[in-house]
Amino acid sequence: MITFDRVSKRYDEGHDALREVSVDIDRDDLVFLTGHSGAGKSTLLRLIMLMDRPTRGQVTVDGRNLATVGSRAIPRHRRDIGVVFQNHQLLFDRPVFDNVALPLIIAGYDYQEVGRRVRAALDKVGLLERERAMPVTLSGGEQQRVGIARAVVGKPKILLADEPTGNLDPALSAEIMQLFEEFNRVGVTVLIASHDLALISRLRHRIITLREGRLVSGSAA
């Protein structure tokens, strides 16, 4: 589903964030991406989302070589991918419902369909009752679940998460991971960047480890 073929990324400052990374993530798999802070986890996710382009090598997502995706086609590409961020990236001047509805509005669904899908997504993350609440009135864990609902509402085939439990206590973190496992079970390919080794090693999924931009373990499925 996602293939990195000897991908390197050098930022303008001359720093190598990724060096010759080759990895294959299978369809319907759930994979953890780990490594110390600065190891290149976020960079790897950013390349999948086309927030950045690799300096060398080739990234393929769902059979499409990303080098062939022009800047005008980037929005279309991102609509096929759900993303969850550590800092949630919510619209704080709008209620939960509107936040979750955003990808559907962008995709142009009609209002009935939007309402139906948003409620289904909120139901899955256990926030159906809070659809009219403003994000600031929610706890950190709840805000993260709004972020997850927004990521899955468009039924993407791929779900990316960058440190989704970064600011949460262990119990809440475990709950969030459970949610990801549920989405994975219904056929979503999930890639989660996390440096919380204690948590992810308990979950018995494939773990890819980066160190200073190099893949050090987990290259083979």
Binding site for ligand ADP (CB under 6 A): 11, 13, 15, 17, 35, 37-43
Helix (H, G, I), strand (E, B) or coil at 208: strand
Give the residue, chosen from 90, 96, 146, 161, that forms a contact with other proteins under the rule CB under 8 A. 90
If residue 62 lies in a helix (H) or strand (E), which one and from where to where? Answer: none
Instruction: Kindly list the strands in the beta sheet with 64-65, ordered across the sheet, starting from the edge strand earlier in the chain.
Output: 16-25, 2-10, 56-61, 64-65
- 14/108 with CB nearer other proteins: 108
By rule CB under 8 A, what count of residues binds other proteins?
28
Q: Which residue has the tokens 């475990």?
A: 174
Interface with other proteins, residue 155, by CB under 8 A: yes
Nearer to Mg ion, 41 or 117 (CB): 41
Cα–Cα distance, 162 to 168 (Å, whole number):
13
Q: Is 91 in the site for other proteins (CB under 8 A)?
A: yes
Selection from ligand ADP, other proteins, Mg ion, none that 91 binds (CB < 5 to 8 A by kind) is: other proteins
Least separation, in Å, of the C-beta of 42 and Mg ion? Answer: 3
The option from other proteins, Mg ion, ligand ADP, none interacting with 17 (CB < 5 to 8 A, set by class) reads ligand ADP
Among 6, 22, 107, 185, binds other proteins (CB under 8 A): 107
Structure tokens at 36: 């110390």
> Cα separation of 92 and 186, whole Å?
30
Cβ atoms 123, 115 nearer than 8 A:
no
* 103 forms part of the interface with other proteins (CB under 8 A): yes
Residue ranges of E strands in 62-173: 64-65, 81-84, 158-162
Between CA 192 and CA 5 the distance in angstroms is 19
* Residue 38's binding partner out of other proteins, Mg ion, ligand ADP, none, with CB under 5 to 8 Å set by partner kind: ligand ADP
Q: Give me the least distance between CB of 35 and ligand ADP, in Å please.
A: 6
Q: Are 173 and 148 in contact (CB under 8 A)?
A: no
**Cβ neighbours, 10 Å, residue 11:** 11
Interaction site with other proteins (CB under 8 A): 49, 51, 62-63, 72, 75-79, 83, 89-91, 93, 102-103, 105-111, 113, 150, 155, 157
